Structure 1
């Protein structure tokens, strides 16, 4: 767990002291938890969740004390991007057996049920902020997971191993260097 928290800090910076979860409990329902001291499936409210938040907040499990959504770490995201306000839960994902090099470590933007974040433009605002660095960004609407960053031409070249045109060579090389460790051998 601490390794994941350290990696999140290296990727995004520390938790912002001026941002708090407040009334937001999206992670308490949406995310799966599978840690030594607590487990729950995705999409199921935590058994400790009560009307005004966590019923065991003072003694909550380690995972709940150390995990923070990307909104809590990314200064450039607007205050309105807090999950309960925006309808988007943004997290750093770690996939032990990724299907491609962009899945090993990535940012995942989840559209929450009933969200109007696409129609009102919040999803586009969030993606504009997140898609400006060397971190893969996925968008999930509950049914599909779509790679939003890098752009398709860059992603295709990285995945295929093909020689990149001169104009894209540096960017493709940077993605390959950063995420090559997650490339499949098969």
Structure 2
């Protein structure tokens, strides 16, 4: 667990002192939690979530005390990107059985209400604040997910091992170096 917490700080940043969850409880519903101490399926409210928030806040599980969304960690994300305001929840995602090198450890932007319309300017601002590093970024509406970073042409070249055109060589080389441990293909 400590390794995941450190990785979250490295990839998303440390928890920002000037940002608090307030009334937001998006993580208590949207996320899947699967730890030895606590389990909850994604897309369902936690059994301890009540109208006033967490009914066991003072004794909540370790994962709930130490996990913070991307909005709490990413200074470049606008204040209005708080999940309960924007409808977008940003988190670091760990896939146990990734299909390719972009899925193992990634940032995922999830809609908190798949049926709701998404403010495209807010989604763009959130994505812009995340897509400036060598960490893959996915967008999910709950039913499917789409790779947003790196771009399709870069991702295809990284996975295929094909020679990149001159204008993409440096970017493809950087991604391959970062994810080379996973091999060229899925």
Unaligned runs of 5+ in 1: none
Aligned-partner Cα distance in 2 for 1:38–1:83:
23
Hey, what's the Cα distance between the residues in 1 that align with 2:82 and 2:116? 13
Q: Aligned-residue CA RMSD in angstroms?
A: 1.4
How much has 1:116 moved relative to structure 2? 2.9
Preserved CA contact (<8 Å) 1:98 1:182? no
| Aligned-partner Cα distance in 1 for 2:185–2:160 | 12
**Within 5 A, what are the aligned runs for 1:34-183?**
34-113=34-113, 114-119=115-120, 121-183=121-183
TM-score (norm 2): 0.94
SS at match of 2:167: coil
Answer yes or no: is the 8 Å Cα contact 1:90–1:108 preserved in 2: yes
Distance 1:185 1:80, change over 3 A: closer
Secondary structure of 2:139's partner?
Answer: strand
| DSSP 3-state at the match of 1:181 | helix
> Contact 1:139–1:146 (CA<8 Å) still a contact in 2?
yes
Aligned equivalent of 1:29: 29
How many angstroms apart in 2 are the aligned matches of 1:130 and 1:165? Answer: 25
How far apart are the structure 1 equivalents of 2:11 and 2:131? 13
CA distance in 1, matches of 2:181, 2:63: 26
1:17 aligned residue:
17
Q: Provide the TM-score with structure 1 as the length reference.
A: 0.94
1:63-109 superposed Cα distances (whole Å, 9 cap, x missing partner):
00111111010000011000000000111001122101100111100
With 109-118 and 31-40 compared, the bigger mean Cα shift is at 109-118
Answer whether contact 1:32 1:41 (CA < 8 A) is retained.
yes
Q: Distance in 2 between matches of 1:68 and 1:42?
A: 16
Alpha-carbon distance between aligned partners in 1 of 2:116 and 2:80, rounded to the nearest angstrom: 13
1-structure distance, mates of 2:173, 2:107: 20
Structure 2 gaps of 5+ residues are none
Rounded to whole Å, the distance in 1 between the matches of 2:137 and 2:34 is 23
- In the TM superposition, residue 134 of structure 1 has moved relative to its aligned partner by 1.1
